[in-house]
Amino acid sequence: MNLIYNSDQYSVVEFGADQELEALRFGGYEIMDKPGKREIFIAGALAQSFRQEVTDLIATEPSVEEIDDFLGRFDTLMRHPVLLH
């Protein structure tokens, strides 16, 4: 587990690949909306796509606002309330 992004709005934790667990076969990401107190865990093909999009975004040296805007695309998928963190 590795915290890869942390702003006032969002935090993103990367989970490494684990061949023993199907959900983490390709790794995964937990994206947390701090003010909304909700989160999502993405794995599989969505995690692979997320990883590539983040790599492309970082190459442009984005501002915190641009990264938060990118992460905001996942807001509609966030259904789990944050209970412990």
DSSP bridge pairs for 11: 6, 32
Q: Where are the beta strands (DSSP E) in the chain?
A: 2-6, 10-15, 28-33, 38-43, 80-81
pTM, full prediction: 0.82
Q: How many domains are there within the chain? A: 1
Q: What is the pLDDT along the chain (85 residues), one digit of tens a residue?
A: 889 999 999 999 998 766 666 655 667 899 999 999 999 999 888 888 999 999 999 999 999 999 999 999 999 888 877 765 4
Give the residue numbers spanning the domain of 10. 2-81
